[in-house]
């Protein structure tokens, strides 16, 4: 296993729509292990493959450090098939260090995808787990937190972020 470099805004790969995984081969298994290690090392609750430079539809999520009855989830080609309710909460992203924002997300969701063995699974999620899944699936569609905030807030973010980088 290896800790991978996490791509940060404005890396172009974060804006790309990731491609579905058609074969769960040895390379994908290694990528999964590396992403898990990278997520834990960064103290994150989720990570999407584009964040480590791979434009494929794979996410790992583990909110067990902050929520009860949760565990590590690996999802290949995940899709949100149902969403109920709305909830406003604070959110951050490993690709946007130092930035958090309050964001409305679906409250309870149903997600379908494949596990690392290629078996189809459906996951019902709420709480932080639901938010993390939605956040990581956004990454697969080339979408970051800052694409979900108002244009004014986004502009403020851009100005501040440029300063921080210098």
Residues near Ni ion (CB under 5 A): 93
Which of residues 93 and 128 has its CB atom nearest to Ni ion in the complex?
93
CB of 88 to Ni ion, least distance (A): 18
CB of 107 to Ni ion, least distance (A): 19
- What gap in Å lies between CA 104 and CA 86, rounded to an integer? 6
Q: How would DSSP label each residue in 24-52?
A: --HHHHHHHHHHHHHHHHTT-SEEEGGGG
Q: Please tell me which residue in 67, 90, 136, 155 is annotated as part of the active site.
A: 136
Tell me the two tokens of residue 55: 């434009």
Residue nearest to Ni ion (CB): 93
Which of residues 32 and 39 has its CB atom nearest to Ni ion in the complex?
39
Which of residues 12 and 23 has its CB atom nearest to Ni ion in the complex?
12
Tell me the pairing of strands 120-125 and 58-61: unpaired
Which of residues 93 and 111 has its CB atom nearest to Ni ion in the complex?
93
| CB-CB neighbours of 113 under 10 Å | 24
- Residues making up the chain, counted from first to last: 166
Asked about 67 being catalytic, the answer comes back as: no
- What gap in Å lies between CA 47 and CA 137, rounded to an integer? 10
CB of 91 to Ni ion, least distance (A): 9
CB of 130 to Ni ion, least distance (A): 15
Please give the positions annotated as active site.
136
């Amino acid at each position: 296993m290896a800790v991978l470099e996490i791509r940060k805004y404005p890396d172009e790969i974060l804006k790309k729509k990731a491609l579905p995984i058609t074969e769960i081969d040895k390379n994908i298994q290694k990528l999964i292990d590396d992403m898990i290690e990278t997520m834990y090392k960064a103290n994150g609750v989720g990570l999407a493959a584009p964040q480590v430079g791979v434009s494929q539809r794979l996410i790992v999520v583990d909110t067990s450090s902050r929520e009860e009855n949760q565990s590590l989830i690996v999802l290949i080609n995940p899709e949100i098939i149902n969403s109920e309710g709305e909830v406003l909460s604070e959110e951050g992203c490993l690709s946007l260090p130092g930035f958090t924002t309050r964001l409305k997300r679906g409250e309870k969701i149903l997600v379908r995808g494949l596990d690392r063995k290629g078996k189809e699974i459906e996951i019902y999620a709420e709480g932080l787990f639901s938010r993390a899944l939605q956040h990581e699936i956004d990454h697969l569609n080339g979408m970051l937190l800052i694409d979900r905030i108002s244009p004014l807030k986004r502009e403020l973010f851009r100005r501040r972020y440029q300063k921080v980088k210098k």
